[in-house]
């Protein structure tokens, strides 16, 4: 096991053992979870304020639905997110702002607008994104999407060992990012549950998440209301996956994950604070209690 890194973003430190809540705010009309509730500019800006008050350390702003849907080119993605990033930076000077994008041209614009982290959930299809993060001195999320094209859902994807594939891919991306000039203390890795994976793969990643945290790199988990949670619980719809989400967050936190991308930051903060307390008690409890 490697020595865990301290994550540093926007002058804030997230050391090993600390949990950071990353709230999702999507400026998309077709988000799988909120179905466009925060697509409007004012609604999105208000949602950021709500997330901060609920205990979010990071807000992840997205302008493109992850799954298949209407085409959104780079210009439209920039139209959706750049102005919001600038407004959020003005309203919340100390907030860590993340932008969910795989495109370097988008990354450059949002970095100029004040973003602190580029969240590439598609596993590095554009290597120039790391160069943007390096040039602006901001962070980068290195994820595993099974080498799927952005916004696609591969059919019958298979791995000899999905967790080994995840570890190899994200650590290689992290090394490539640092070689490109990204600060080593601003790189995160994300197994990207459900991206290029079926439910069995996502469950395997959750059970063996300690193999990712053993790399020492800060691990981000984005499991909130995802399909694998619903399928595991018998086919629950998106609106009924909250309890399963919190359970998966707790299991991930216990194994050492550090950053948690969620739709309900208040509940996530409570769950993670509980894990922190339980972990503290487990270290201090007298033998035999």
Task: Retrieve residue 119's tokens.
Answer: 């969240």
User: Would you tell me how many other CB atoms lie within 10 Å of the CB of residue 89?
Assistant: 17
Structure-model confidence comparison of residues 165 and 288, the more confident one: 165
3-state class of 24 per DSSP? strand
Q: What is the pTM assigned to this prediction?
A: 0.95
Specify which of 33-42, 80-89, 144-153 reaches the highest per-range mean pLDDT.
80-89
Work out the angle at residue 141's Cα, subtended by the Cα atoms of residues 79 and 154, and round it to the nearest 5 degrees: 80
Alpha helices in the chain (DSSP H): 41-53, 74-91, 104-113, 128-136, 162-179, 199-207, 210-213, 227-232, 242-254, 265-284
| Cβ atoms of 183 and 137 closer than 8 Å | yes
33 confidence band (pLDDT: 50, 70, 90) = confident
Residue 212 reports pLDDT greater than 80:
yes
Q: What are the C-alpha distances in Å from 68 to residues 30, 63, 186?
A: 10, 14, 30
Complete domains list, the chain, with CATH: 16-153+160-279 (3.20.20.20)
Which of the residue ranges 46-50, 66-70, 282-286 would you say has the lowest mean pLDDT?
Answer: 282-286
- The string of pLDDT tens digits covering residues 113-124 is 999 999 999 999
285 confidence band (pLDDT: 50, 70, 90) = low
**Residue 287: per-residue pLDDT:** 58
Closest CA to 230 of 241, 216, 219: 241
**Residue 282: per-residue pLDDT:** 75
């Amino acid at each position: 096991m490697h020595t865990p890194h301290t994550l540093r973003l926007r002058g804030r430190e997230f050391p090993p053992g600390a949990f950071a809540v990353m709230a999702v705010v999507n400026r998309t009309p077709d988000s799988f979870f909120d179905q466009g509730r925060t697509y409007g500019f004012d609604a999105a800006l208000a949602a950021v304020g709500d997330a901060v008050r609920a205990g979010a350390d990071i807000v992840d702003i997205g302008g493109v639905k992850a799954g298949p849907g209407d085409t959104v080119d780079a210009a439209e993605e920039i139209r959706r997110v750049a102005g919001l990033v600038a407004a959020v930076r003005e309203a919340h000077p100390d907030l860590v702002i993340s932008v969910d994008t795989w495109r370097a041209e988008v990354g450059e614009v949002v970095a100029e607008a004040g973003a602190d982290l580029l969240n590439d959930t598609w596993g590095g299809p554009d290597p120039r994104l790391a160069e943007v993060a390096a040039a602006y001195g901001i962070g980068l999320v290195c994820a595993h999407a099974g080498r799927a094209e952005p916004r696609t859902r591969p059919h019958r994807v298979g791995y000899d060992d999905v967790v080994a594939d995840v570890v190899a891919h994200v650590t290689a991306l992290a090394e490539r990012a640092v070689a490109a000039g990204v600060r080593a203390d601003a790189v995160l890795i994300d197994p990207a549950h459900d991206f290029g994976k079926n439910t069995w793969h996502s469950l395997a990643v959750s059970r063996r998440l300690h193999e990712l945290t053993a790399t020492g790199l800060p691990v981000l988990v984005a499991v909130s209301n995802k399909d694998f949670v619903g399928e595991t619980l018998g086919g629950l719809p998106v609106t009924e996956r909250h309890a399963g989400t919190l359970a998966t967050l707790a299991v991930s936190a216990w194994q050492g994950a550090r950053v948690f991308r969620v739709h309900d930051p208040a509940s996530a903060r409570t769950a993670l604070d509980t894990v922190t307390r339980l972990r503290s008690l487990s270290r201090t409890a007298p033998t035999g209690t």
